[in-house]
Amino acid sequence: MTTTDPRLGFIGLGAMGRPMALNLIQAGYSMAVYARRKESLAQLIAAGARAFATPAALAAECDVIFSVVTASADSELVALGADGIIHGARAGTVVVDMATISPLATRRIAQALAARGIDHVDAPVSGGPTGAQGAALSIMAGGKPQVFERVKPLFERLGKTILHMGDHGAGQVTKACNQLALTVTLQGVAEALLLAQRGGVDPAKVREAMLGGFAASRVLELFGKRMVERDFANGIDARLYHKDLDIVLDLAHGLGLPLPAAAVTLQQINALIGGGGGKSDFSRMIEVLERSAGDQP
């Protein structure tokens, strides 16, 4: 690290935020951290990070602040709440929100911060915990081009595909498109593997055949493997995809767009959560179909 390197802060140290913050520390950057759950701080403190009691206190010591929290309300609270970033950050500070939230909330946050001279980039990611650990995320960013260029060297420590998509909220719209395609594709994969099973053909072999043709996808490769192996313990909680599809459909409703496949898939996720699978990997969706087909009680 040199004296010209930015001082970084990271808020939200869960399955995604913790490895991302560690990658930045390992790249030589100084790091301030904040998390609501104190146990989330231990690994970062051991790596040399300094913990702060509030987002505002952290912001006062940082040039660039990353946040990865769960929902739109969480991002707004971290940025604009009573102890939020806005009350500690100086003009010229950059806030990088890497959570998946509503584009409308993103624009509200960016506008409020801009009134104080604080810059904002929305930069949701795709790649899951494995991508976060391996610094192989896909990062889709929205905000002023010059601010994006300022933080791009930091993004390069976190991901491999890094794109500026447009103005504030453009990153979130891009992520909504990503989640729409992912969730609907997963529904199709689950249906295909159930059809294979009920048709008397080994689903593992059907998946292998599909991976060699036009039906091949990362969803079939990764989630399909978990379905075949009945491995539902790892990955990202299914309940988070419910939140993401809510964002997708809210955006579509505001634009007057019908998204029938998204609506059906959301109802399937409702059934998965209702059956106790909300904290399991999203690949557990296949069990919803199996229950509907009478394969399970």
- Domain assignments of the chain as residue spans, ordered by start: 8-167, 173-292
Q: Are 67 and 99 in contact (CB under 8 A)?
A: yes
Mean pLDDT in residue range 91-106 = 97
Q: Identify the architecture of domain 173-292 in CATH.
A: Orthogonal Bundle (1.10)
Q: Residue 239 has what pLDDT?
A: 93
pLDDT reading at 297 higher than 60: no
CA distance 84 to 108: 14
Q: State residue 82's pLDDT score.
A: 97
Instruction: Give me the catalytic one of 144, 152, 160, 175.
Output: 175
Mean pLDDT of 157-178: 98
Q: What mean pLDDT comes out for the span 164-173?
A: 98
pLDDT (tens digit per residue) in 50-66: 999 999 999 999 999 99
Single out the residue of 27, 90, 29 nearest to residue 63, CA to CA.
Answer: 90
Q: Tell me what pLDDT residue 3 has.
A: 55
CA angle 104, 162, 69 (to 5 degrees): 45
| Amino acid letter, residue 255 | L
- The pLDDT, as a whole number, for residue 39 is 86
Over 90: is that where the pLDDT of 94 sits? yes
Length of the chain: 297
pLDDT tens profile 206-252 = 999 999 999 999 999 999 999 999 999 877 889 999 999 999 999 99
Q: Are strands 159-166 and 64-67 parallel, antiparallel or unpaired?
A: unpaired
On average, the pLDDT of the chain sits at: 95
Percent above pLDDT 70 for the chain: 98
Query: By mean pLDDT, which of 1-5, 32-36, 87-91, 167-171 is the weakest?
Result: 1-5
Clarify whether 175 is annotated catalytic. yes
If you search the block for the tokens 């988070």, which residue do you land on?
A: 240
* pLDDT of 173 strictly over 50: yes
pLDDT of residue 233: 85
| pLDDT recorded at residue 96 | 98
Tell me, yes or no, if the pTM score tops 0.85: yes
Q: Give dist(CA 52, CA 32) in Å, integer.
A: 7
Handedness of CA 189, 192, 197, 198 (dihedral sign): positive
| CATH code for residues 8-167 | 3.40.50.720
Tell me which of 4 and 121 has the higher pLDDT.
121
158, 123 Cβ separation under 8 angstroms = no
2: pLDDT strictly greater than 80 = no
Alpha carbon separation from 14 to 41, 69, 81, 183, 209 (Å, rounded): 10, 8, 20, 22, 36
pLDDT bracket for residue 38 (50, 70, 90): confident
pLDDT digits (tens, 9 = 90+) for 102-140: 999 999 999 999 999 999 999 999 998 999 999 999 999
| Percent of the residues in the chain that have a pLDDT greater than 90, as a whole number | 92
The answer for residues whose C-beta is within 8 angstroms of residue 115's C-beta and 6 or more apart is none
Tokens found for residue 276: 């106790």
What 3-state class would DSSP assign to 137?
strand
Tokens of 109: 């946050």
d(CA 119, CA 6): 14
